[in-house]
Amino acid sequence: MRITVKLFATFRTDRFKIEEREVPSGTEVGHIVRELGIAESELGIVLVNARHAALDQQLQEGDILSLFPLVGGG
Amino acid sequence: MKALQTFLRQNADDDLLAWRHQLAAAERFKLSLAEVEAAIFEAGLLPARYQRNRRMISTLQQAQLFRSLVAVIGCGGLGGYILEQLARLGVGRIIAIDPDIFEENNLNRQLLSTPSGLGRVKAEVAAERIAEVNPAVTLRPVRELLDRSNGPELLAGADCVVDAVDNVTARLDLAEICSELDIPLVHGAIAGWYGHVATILPGDRSMQTIYRHWTGGKGVEQQLGNPSFTPATAASLEVGEVCKVLLGQGALLRNRKLSFNLLDMEVEEIPL
C-alpha cells in the first residue's frame, strides 16, 4: 500500500520534506519512524491524517503520517 | 480621595493623563504610582502611555489589564520578552518566577541578560527592568523553582499563567497545577528555528497531548540551542494570547497548537 510521510523541522535534515512510500499492509507507525532513523526520544507530535497516533497504530492505504520533533526549550 | 480625583481631572488632556502628572500626584498625595494609576482608571481617564493601545483596547479594558495578575514561569529566553511585553501592555500585577542566575550563554537571546548582570538573580533583574519600563506595574520576583508543592501557593489568585520554562517535566507539572487551580495557561516552547504555542484552559489535556511521546530529557533545543528571534517570536504569540484571555476577546489558540518553522518560514496548526 502507499502512504505519504511528511517530516517537519529538524527531521527534514538529510531526509526529505514529503515522500510517498510503498509499505506492506499492516505496517505500524513505529516501523516507519525506526526506518527513518528517528529515535523515539526525539519524537514530539505524531499525526496520522491530522489525528494524534500511537507508535503501534497500523497504517492504512493512503494515510498521511506527519512527524514533528520534540520541542521543549524556553 | 476627592482631592486626588480633582487633581487628576484638572491635569488631564481630554481623557489622557500625562506621566509627569501621574508622578506629581504620587508625590503630592503620598501614593505609589500603582495607586495613582488605579485612581486614574477610577476617574475614567487613561494614562497617556497607553494612548497607542486605545484603538484596540478601550479604557475599560485597559483598567481590566491593570487589575490583572499574571504569573510568568521562567525569566530566561521566553520569559524576558514576555515580561517586557506584559508590562508595556499594562498588565498591572506580575509574578516572575525563576530559580536561576544569568550566565554568559544567555546573552545571545535573553532580553534581561547583560554582561554586567552575569551572576545576578534573574527574577530580581526582571523586577528592576519592569520598574524602569513601567513603574506603575507591581512585579513580585520569586527566586524559586516552581513545582507541585509550592505551585498552588505561588500561583493562587493569578488570572493567567505563562509558560516560559525550559523543560518538559516542569511543563507537565505546570499544566496539572493550573488545571487544579482553574487558571488558564499559555504554553510556548522553542528549539533553534522552531517553536510552538498553545492556550490551555482548565480541564484541557493539551500539554499531555503535546508531550505524549516524551520519554524524558530535552527536545531538539539540546542540539540546536536557541537564537534571539525564536524566543521573541514565541513570546509575542504567547502575550497576544494572554491579552485575549484577560480581556475575554478574540479566538484563543485552544485545542490546537501553532507550530512555526522560521527556517522554511512555515506555520502549521495542529489539532490537540
pLDDT recorded at residue B1 = 77
Q: What is the average pLDDT across A1-28?
A: 97
Domain with A6, as residue range(s), is 2-69
Tally of CA atoms within 13 A in the half-sphere of B48 that contains its CB: 13
- Rg of chain B, C-alpha, whole Å: 19
The partner residues of B257 in beta bridges, in order of sequence, read B270
* List of chain B residues whose C-beta atoms are within 8 Å of the C-beta of residue A71: 189-191, 194-196, 219-221, 259
Mean pLDDT for chain B?
Answer: 97
Alpha helix (H) ranges present in chain B? 2-11, 19-29, 33-42, 59-67, 77-89, 122-133, 151-155, 168-181, 206-210, 221-224, 229-247
**The total number of structural domains that make up chain A:** 1
pLDDT recorded at residue B156 = 95
Alpha helix (H) ranges present in B54-96? 59-67, 77-89
What CA–CA distance (Å, rounded) separates B254 from B241?
10
Write out pLDDT tens, residues A29-41: 999 999 999 999 9
pLDDT above 90: percentage of residues in chain B: 99
φ/ψ of B271, rounded to 5, equals -65, 140
Q: Are B113 and B102 in contact (CB under 8 A)?
A: yes
Residues B68-271: name the CATH superfamily.
Answer: NAD(P)-binding Rossmann-like Domain (3.40.50.720)
Tell me, what's the ipTM? 0.95
Q: Could you tell me if residue A10 is inside a domain?
A: yes
Q: Could you tell me if residue A11 is inside a domain?
A: yes
Q: What is the average pLDDT across A45-60?
A: 97
Quickly state the pLDDT bin for B23 (edges 50, 70, 90): very high
CATH number, domain containing residue A12? 3.10.20.30
Q: Could you tell me if residue A74 is inside a domain?
A: no
Chain B: nearest CA to A41, how far in angstroms?
A: 6
Task: Identify from A12, A65, A70 which residue to disrupt to test chain B contact, counting B C-beta atoms within 10 A and taking the largest count.
Answer: A70
Q: Is the pLDDT of residue A64 over 80?
A: yes
* Of B127, B47, B148, the residue nearest B89 (C-alpha): B47
* List of chain B residues whose C-beta atoms are within 8 Å of the C-beta of residue A70: 168, 211, 213-214, 218-220
Q: Are B177 and A57 in contact (CB under 8 A)?
A: no
Chain B: nearest CA to A13, how far in angstroms?
A: 12
* Closest residue in chain B to residue A45, using alpha carbons only: B210
Q: For residue B136, give the C-alpha cell.
A: 506603575
Domain locations along chain B: 68-271
Chain A: nearest CA to B133, how far in angstroms?
A: 23
Q: Could you tell me if residue A55 is inside a domain?
A: yes
Q: Are B1 and B35 in contact (CB under 8 A)?
A: no
A13 touches chain B (CB under 8 A): no
Q: Which residue bears the cell 537571546?
A: B109
B270 and A69 in contact by Cβ < 8 A?
Answer: no
Chain B: nearest CA to A4, how far in angstroms?
A: 17
Q: For residue B211, give the C-alpha cell.
A: 508531550
* Closest residue in chain B to residue A74, using alpha carbons only: B166
